[in-house]
Structure 1
Amino acid sequence: MSLHKTRRQFVGQMLALAGGSSLPFTLNLAAMGSAAAQSTGAGDYKALVCLFLNGGNDHFNTVLATDSESWSAYQHIRTTTDTGSIALPGLGAAGGVLPISPATAQAGRSFALHPSMLPMKHLFDSGRAAVIANVGTLVRPATLAQYKAGAVPLPPRLFSHNDQQTQWQSAQPGGGIDFGWGGRMADMIAAGAGSAFTAVSTSGNTLFLSGQEVRQYQISGTGPIAIRRLSDTLFGAPAAANPLRQIITAAASEPLQKEHAAVTSRAIDAQAKLSGALAPAGAGGVADPVLYLNPNTGVAAVNPLAMQLQTVARVIAAHGALGLKRQVFYVSLGGFDTHDFQRANQADLLAKLSHAVAYFDTVLASLQGNDMRKQVTLFTASDFGRTFTSNGDGTDHGWGSHHFVVGGAVKGRNIYGSMPVTGLGHELDVGSGALLPTTSVDQYGATLASWFGLSASQMTDVFPNIGNFSTRNLGFMV
Structure 2
Amino acid sequence: MSRKIDASRRNFLRNASVMSLVGASGVPFALNLLTMGAAAAQTTSDYKAIVCLFLSGGNDHANTVLATDPTSWTSYTSVRTTSEAGSIALPAVGMAGGILPVVPNTVQTGREFGLHPSLGPLKDLFDAGRAGIVANVGPLIMPTTRAQYRAQSVALPPKLFSHNDQQSLWQSYKPEGATFGWGGRMGDLLASMNTNTTFTSISASGNAVFLAGQTINQYQVNASGAVPIGGITGSLFGAPAGSNPLQAIVAGSRANVFERDHAAIVKRSIDAQGVLSTAMLPAGASGVADPTQYTNPNTGALANNSLATQLQTVARVIGGRGGLGARRQIFFVSMGGFDTHDFEKTNHSDLMAKLAHALSYFDTTLSTLGGADLRSQVTLFTASDFGRTFTSNGDGTDHGWGSHHFVVGGAVKGKDIYGTFPVTGLNHDQDVGSGSLLPAISVDQYGGTMAKWFGLSDTQIADVFPNIVNFPNRDLGFMA
Query: Given the alignment, which residue of 46, 50, 54 partners 2:56?
Result: 54
**In the TM superposition, what whole-angstrom CA distance separates every residue of 1:399-438 from its partner, at most 9, and x where no partner exists?**
0000000000000000000010000000000000000000
CA contact under 8 A between 2:43 and 2:325: conserved in structure 1? no
Code of the aligned partner of 1:214: I
CA contact under 8 A between 1:378 and 1:406: conserved in structure 2? yes
The structure richer in helix per residue is 2
**In the TM superposition, what whole-angstrom CA distance separates every residue of 1:217-255 from its partner, at most 9, and x where no partner exists?**
000112111111123333344425752111111222333
Q: TM-score, normalised by structure 2?
A: 0.89
CA contact under 8 A between 2:59 and 2:339: conserved in structure 1? yes
Query: Given the alignment, which residue of 394, 398, 408 partners 2:396?
Result: 394
3-state SS of paired residue (1:332): strand
CA contact under 8 A between 1:199 and 1:209: conserved in structure 2? yes
Residues 329-344 of structure 1: pairs in structure 2 closer than 5 A: 329-344=331-346
Query: Given the alignment, which residue of 123, 131, 136 partners 1:121?
Result: 123
3-state SS of paired residue (1:239): coil
For 1:254 and 1:423, locate their aligned partners in 2 and report how far apart those are by CA, in whole Å.
Answer: 65
Matched, 1:436 2:438: yes
Aligned to 2:250: 248
Code of the aligned partner of 2:241: A
3-state SS of paired residue (2:133): strand
Residues 274-423 of structure 1: pairs in structure 2 closer than 5 A: 274-423=276-425
Query: Given the alignment, which residue of 468, 471, 478 partners 2:470?
Result: 468
For 1:254 and 1:381, locate their aligned partners in 2 and report how far apart those are by CA, in whole Å.
Answer: 44
Q: TM-score, normalised by structure 1?
A: 0.90
For 2:195 and 2:376, locate their aligned partners in 1 and report how far apart those are by CA, in whole Å.
Answer: 25
Task: For residue 177 of structure 1, report the CA deviation from its aligned partner.
Answer: 2.2
Residues 177-216 of structure 1: pairs in structure 2 closer than 5 A: 177-191=178-192, 192-216=194-218
Task: For residue 258 of structure 1, report the CA deviation from its aligned partner.
Answer: 1.7
Code of the aligned partner of 1:293: T
For 1:238 and 1:122, locate their aligned partners in 2 and report how far apart those are by CA, in whole Å.
Answer: 53
**More deviation, 319-328/185-194:** 185-194
Aligned to 2:132: 130
RMSD, aligned CA: 1.4
For 1:155 and 1:260, locate their aligned partners in 2 and report how far apart those are by CA, in whole Å.
Answer: 38
For 1:233 and 1:363, locate their aligned partners in 2 and report how far apart those are by CA, in whole Å.
Answer: 36
Aligned to 2:22: none
Aligned to 1:156: 158
Code of the aligned partner of 1:78: R
Residues 102-117 of structure 1: pairs in structure 2 closer than 5 A: 102-117=104-119
For 2:224 and 2:405, locate their aligned partners in 1 and report how far apart those are by CA, in whole Å.
Answer: 29
Task: For residue 321 of structure 1, report the CA deviation from its aligned partner.
Answer: 1.2
Unaligned 5+ residue runs, structure 2?
A: 1-41
For 1:240 and 1:398, locate their aligned partners in 2 and report how far apart those are by CA, in whole Å.
Answer: 55
Matched, 1:448 2:444: no
CA contact under 8 A between 2:69 and 2:112: conserved in structure 1? yes
For 1:237 and 1:370, locate their aligned partners in 2 and report how far apart those are by CA, in whole Å.
Answer: 44
For 2:399 and 2:242, locate their aligned partners in 1 and report how far apart those are by CA, in whole Å.
Answer: 57
CA contact under 8 A between 2:367 and 2:375: conserved in structure 1? yes
3-state SS of paired residue (1:188): helix
Task: For residue 171 of structure 1, report the CA deviation from its aligned partner.
Answer: 2.7
Matched, 1:97 2:99: yes
3-state SS of paired residue (1:73): helix
Aligned to 1:459: 461
The structure 1 segments of at least 4 consecutive aligned residues displaced by more than 3 Å after TM superposition are 235-238
Aligned residues with identical type, % of pairs: 62
Task: For residue 41 of structure 1, report the CA deviation from its aligned partner.
Answer: 5.7
CA contact under 8 A between 1:138 and 1:173: conserved in structure 2? no
